[in-house]
Amino acid sequence: MSFDVAAVRGQFPILSQIIDGRPLHYLDNGASAQVPNAVLDAVRKYETTQRANVVRGVHALAERATEAYEDARAEVATFLSVQANEIVFTGGCTAAINLVAYSYGSLLKSGDRILLSELEHHSNIVPWQLLRSRSGIELDVLPVTEDGRIDVSALPRLLTPRTRLISLAHVSNVTGASLDVKTVVAAARAVGAKVMLDGAQRAPHGPLDLPSLGIDFYAFAGHKTYGPNGIGVLWARPELLEAMPPFHGGGSMIGRVTFAETTWAPPPRRFEAGTPPIGQAIGLGAACLWMRGIDWAAAHAHEMSLTQRVMDGLQKIDGTWLLGPASLQARYPVVSFTLEGVHTHDVAQVLDSFGVAVRAGHHCAQPLIDHFDIDGTTRISIAPYNDHGDIDALLTGVRHAAKTLR
Amino acid sequence: MSDQLYQDRIVTLAKAKTGAGKLAAPTKSARRDNPLCGDRVTIDVRLDGQGRIAEIAHQVRGCLLCQASASALSSVAVGRDAAGIAVVRHDAERAVGREAGEAAEPFAAFAPVAAHKSRQECVLLPFEALKDALS
């Protein structure tokens, strides 16, 4: 199986930059991925030939903008194998989860329960805590295994007849572990609970077939999926969207407004109050189209071979400890590690001097970091445009940090 | 340029671990977290009758810059009260480029941090913890 990484890399202008005299080795894709020319071109086309507000205008630019915006919605839907009217554009993945926590959450009653896990990103913890303080729902927490997976064997113990929703990371942003969705969905169905997946770390690795997963809500971020910042996606089953009240009020989301009564627009508009991030949505549509043009069988094999190279290389350095499953089958290309005697930020800072961009710290997953009783991790997150040169520069930098800082 | 950041003097200060540990019977203690990076500093002080530091100890769960700063601060803290520590803080602020002027030792060692705005809080966190302990 061959994958032309140079051809993919060549589509990302930022990657050819020289910073402080060194080539850029961008391995912080889990925080924000880079954008290909196809996305830049689509955004530029909107800004230079289509820019206007959407929905309400009748002039030529407004028509163009609306068409491009709705085409983007259709592209996202195709990427997820769902219908366009089930796609809500949001300000990001966090905004999508907050939308569900507020809107679906308003349908819940005091004493209803929501099940999360210990490895969730703060964006899949805090919105539910806010809901808890508003409405008196209860939160339960699935533990993690020693190799950094959500321990689904604890589902029978933690699910109750009052569990209304299970909201979990599809792929951990710290350990890279992939969720056993099938087991979660089967357990949820047994008690009548809905399932939401935070797909922020999964969506960047190829198209999804959401109906086959059997879930109810899915959220992901544009900027991690080779698209612009300020855009995210919520998918939900149409009957759920139909039942949910608005999150934000304003223009576009209404049926009719009087001071006596206001009616809501049908979904997805009901959840897109005000002027949406139009150019960003168009850019995300282009990113989804670009991703559908990738041979993901080959791209994923490439990403995972780099992941193996990272794991093998780190394990050869004295004092490293890797989080996450040892098996490539159970993970995506996100690798976190600690280096004994060297703080994660110092590792990341040294790597920067080698032109290597990584993330260090708690990764907005403090409960998981506390679970392992560590200060944080240094995280490598890989995209299809990464190559052996990136990984070798990383390993050289880690060896240098180990040699000079302890 | 990050490669200039970890100069020998900073590494030496961190490795010296001056004042690292806990006090058996502190007069006051304070803990400060940096929510952005997760660094955590806990400082214990034993004060004399005039509010001056008689003994100081720190626990740092943080990066090398934070460790070096706590070590440097501990090396000059004894005998100073809150006002005296505020004077020393100016040296740290000068070293990292937040204030004009020359920084006195041992804080002059932190001059390379001036080029790394995102890391300056790491140097200042022990000062924040000590300020709380003395307030």
Laid out side by side, the sheet with B40-47 consists of: B28-33, B40-47, B53-61
Eight-state DSSP code of residue A302: H
pLDDT for B34 equals 87
Number of structural domains (chain B) is 1
**Cβ B1–A361 below 8 Å, yes or no?**
no
pLDDT for A2 equals 77
Residues of B in contact with A346 (CB under 8 A): 6, 63-65
Query: What is the C-alpha separation between A339 and B122, in angstroms, rounded?
Result: 19
Q: Which two tokens stand for residue A342?
A: 């060297």
pLDDT for A56 equals 80
The CA distance from B97 to the nearest CA of chain A, in Å, is 19
Which among A20, A346, A353 has CB closest to B64? A346
Buried b (16+ CB within 10 A) or exposed e, A213-249: bebbbbbbbbbbbbbbbbbbbbbbbeebbeebebbee
Residue-range domain boundaries for chain A: 40-292, 295-404
**Cβ A353–B1 below 8 Å, yes or no?**
yes
Residues of chain A scoring pLDDT < 70: 1
**Cβ B119–A369 below 8 Å, yes or no?**
no
Residues of B in contact with A357 (CB under 8 A): none
The CA distance from A348 to the nearest CA of chain B, in Å, is 10
Closest residue on chain A to B62 (Cα): A343
**Cβ B63–A346 below 8 Å, yes or no?**
yes
Q: Does A147 touch chain B (CB under 8 A)?
A: no
Mean pLDDT of all residues belonging to chain B: 93
ipTM: 0.84
What's A295-404's CATH class? alpha beta
Residues of B in contact with A369 (CB under 8 A): 38
Q: Does B10 touch chain A (CB under 8 A)?
A: no
| A288 noted as active-site residue | no
Q: Average pLDDT, stretch B22-34?
A: 95
Q: Does B17 touch chain A (CB under 8 A)?
A: no
Measured from the Cβ of residue B46, the count of other Cβ atoms closer than 10 Å reads 16
pLDDT for B39 equals 87
Which among B5, B39, B67 has CB closest to A349? B5
Which among A346, A352, A362 has CB closest to B38? A362
Amino acid at B38: G
Domain containing B116 equals: 2-134
pLDDT for B2 equals 43
Closest residue on chain A to B61 (Cα): A375
**Domains A40-292 and A295-404 belong to one CATH topology:** no
Eight-state DSSP code of residue B80: -
Residues of A in contact with B11 (CB under 8 A): 404-405
> Catalytic pick from A185, A335, A364, A365?
A364
pLDDT for B1 equals 41
pLDDT for A1 equals 53
What's A40-292's CATH class? alpha beta
Residues of A in contact with B3 (CB under 8 A): 350, 353
Which among B1, B37, B116 has CB closest to A361? B37
Q: Taking phi first (over 0 means left), then psi (-120 to 50 degrees means alpha), and beta for anything else, what does residue A209 get?
A: beta
Helices B120-134 and B82-95: angle between axes, nearest 10 degrees: 180
CB-side exposure of A296: number of CA atoms within 13 Å? 13
**Cβ A353–B2 below 8 Å, yes or no?**
yes
Q: CATH number of the domain that B120 lies in? A: 3.90.1010.10
Residues of B in contact with A405 (CB under 8 A): 6, 11, 64
Q: Does A362 touch chain B (CB under 8 A)?
A: yes
Measured from the Cβ of residue B97, the count of other Cβ atoms closer than 10 Å reads 16
Q: Does B61 touch chain A (CB under 8 A)?
A: yes
Quickly list DSSP for A355-402: TEE-EEE-TT-HHHHHHTT-S-EEEEE--TT--HHHHHHHHHHHHHHH
B64, B116, B125: best to mutate for the A interface, most A CBs within 10 A? B64
